[in-house]
Structure 1
Amino acid sequence: MMFRSKFAGWDDIVPVDFTRTSESVSRVPDLKVLVKRDNMMKTDLTALFLDRQPAMSPEESEELLNDCNEDLEFIESFVLEGKKFVRLPDGEFGTFYTMDCYVFLCRYAVLPEESEDEEEEDDGDHEVAQQDFKCVLYFWQGREASNMGWLHFTFQLQPTFEKIFKDKLEVVRMHQQQENHKFLSHFHRKFVIRRGRRGLTRNLGGKWPELFQMRANGSSVCTRTIQIDCRATELCSGFCHILRAPYNVMHEDGQKGIVYVWIGEQSDPHEH
């Protein structure tokens, strides 16, 4: 593993079973058994021929956003720098890079179920019962990020939190643009995906125009602002676009550039 990490682009992690003997490895599988097993496997393709689910209304999306954040107590964010995870600055919360890996620790309150018979009002002091909780550790991997980030997470950060929270911890791995509603709701539609690596882009970026596209699949909760190629052919009438154009020289009033918002003719009015 350490040997492979010395080579750029070599991140193929091949599982090897060291418990197998040489006889079991050299043994050729029976073709009849494989054919029989394949015939027994059946795949349900009904979902491929069903109609697409209708998009949620703005009211339903807002209700879903509030429901997903109702039990959230706090969220801590980390980013992989080199071989260690460090805390993500508050100003960069909600900004992701395609070549980086991020970790988010979310603590949720487990609300107790109250029965109607137990709803009684007392004039005396009320004893506040300690609420139960659960923690979810989200691992987010960019589309161009190496799989070594997942290995650093499983061997470094995950064991640390497992010792603290024990059986109350759940680990969820996600890839870019495959996030669930619960995770996306914590960013309140401010979910930006930029190209490149965090440290390199922050130091060398800001000197050329950048084009972003706002997308929401099925619900405004899933709103993502994704960086695309800065070309006029990338403009789509079904979405809103943001063009960030920096100046070559800073103006006297301190302005470093200008931001244009291009609204597609067929885009959702609630995104304007």
Structure 2
Amino acid sequence: MPSSSFPSPDPPSSNGPPGLPREARITAALIDLADTLVDDFDPAEFLYRVAEHCMDLLDIGDAGVMLAVPGGPLRLVAASSERVRVVELFELDASEGPCCTSFDQAVPVDHTLNAAPSPRWPRFSTRAHAAGYTSVHATPVRLRGDTIGVLNLFRRIPGQLLEADRHLARALADATAISLLQQTTLDQHRTVRAQLEKALDTRTIIEQAKGFLTARHESDPDTAFHRLRAHARHHHLRLVDLARDIVDGTTTLPPPPGTGKTPTPPET
């Protein structure tokens, strides 16, 4: 009996050429998450990469990353799709669900979603099941002895996350925590709280830019966000800086190909 249900051959990977063995992709992902000791470290882009690595390496349908400053509430900082973003925001607003429990108790939490509401988290389970998810695995992101966030892994097919994927999710969560800690050592005056607050605050600016592009180009939020990231990467810009310029009107992205629209230059 095979020990894993991962597809063969491997699907295209964002961490290397299509068909790269999964073990090599895992190594590449961990190296990527460790490569943060740079002056222009972008916490927003880093946390979206965490979500992307989860999507690439784990047998899941969506991923979300939540963080909290010491003594503060959990906040959503990265999501793999608009669908999961809405569910995650609902979970935080309802203050119930696997991620909240995983964060409060600093333990991994598995939860199967059925048509009938879960007695433990009735509002969350109803909303998540209606969004098409069948199970959730939440694993805490721990920095030294403190829990600073949660990785939330959503599946759309029956069955919970495989044991091997649970261990890998733990490794990705640990790598995320270590990388954030590394950043605090670059400047002895920078604190963990300040670093986390910076990551959380950038989310608001990015969401504003995403909403602006969605309305301006009549696209969906996922498409708008992917275009935002692609433009930032192509022009070697920090994601948050580009988002701020779009909101301020100092930068205009061209419309999506095939729309036939001409971008309106920013006002001077």
The answer to whether TM tops 0.5 is no
Higher helix share: 2
Normalized against structure 1, the TM-score is what? 0.22
Mark the structure with the bigger radius of gyration: 1
Normalized against structure 2, the TM-score is what? 0.22
Higher strand share: 1
